[in-house]
Amino acid sequence: MTEKIYNLPLIGDQAPNFHAKTTFGEVNFPDDYKGKWVILFSHPADFTPVCTTEFIAFQARKKEFSKLNAELIGLSIDQIYSHIKWVEWIEEKMKVEIEFPIIADHGKIGKLYGMVHPSKSASTVRAVFVIDPEGIIRAIIYYPPEIGRNMDEILRILEAFHIADKHNVAMPANWPKNELLKDRVIIPPASDVKTAKQRPKDYECYDWWLCHKERPK
């Protein structure tokens, strides 16, 4: 029997639907999270050192994610019993309570989302999917097993989306600490001659195609 071929989701795609067991009960994804941003992330396995540090780091910033209307949900190809025991271990040994659900995947969701890379074994890699309140995938980040994630970068991406969506602007490199613009934001380039001539009159510009303004409140 031929193995099913999955079309991996891309930025701008609707997040694939699935039903699964989690440490917080069953979930219908992404329907149960409509109206919320979601950080869906996979880890290679429970009871592994890098993953343990990642879960503690995510939990440490949970309030910051909540302020940005975002929910965290983890995933690995481990049984629900393993997830529960691992979470208990983290609370007992590290004094940290994990207050977000972890999906018990049997491999289907990992393949559906492109979280399983055969060259890196059958476990899920460190993938991050940033999904908006309409269930659209807005960003995808992959990390190799040997490198833990930077949670502050994920928060930065989420904060940038909030501003970009509300004000129709873009963010420079290393925002909000850009070498040229600091925390200022970029105006989308003009698409006609009239607007190009007007841009330097309306904004601070290096040229008509590189204009910027103060970060919106």
Q: Is 205 a catalytic residue?
A: no
* Residue entry with tokens 């290096």: 206
User: Contact, 174 vs 158, CB < 8 A?
Assistant: no
Q: CA-to-CA distance for 60 and 139, rounded, in angstroms?
A: 22
With 0-12 / 13-18 / 19 or more C-beta atoms within 10 angstroms meaning exposed / middle / buried, residue 83 is buried
Query: In the chain, what is the greatest distance between 2 CA atoms, to the nearest angstrom?
Result: 65
- Here the tokens at position 213 are 């303004």
Q: Reduced to 3 states, what is the DSSP secondary structure of residue 73? A: strand
Q: Please, is 184 exposed, middle or buried when counting C-beta atoms within 10 Å of its C-beta (0-12, 13-18, 19+)?
A: middle
Active-site option among 51, 112, 131, 181: 51
Residue type, 201: K
Euclidean distance between CA atoms 28 and 103, whole angstroms:
11
Q: 37-42 and 137-143: which strand pairing?
A: unpaired
**Sign of the CA dihedral with 153 first, then 154, 159, and 163 last:** positive
| Contact present, 188 and 164 (Cβ < 8 Å) | no
Q: Hey, which residues are catalytic here?
A: 51
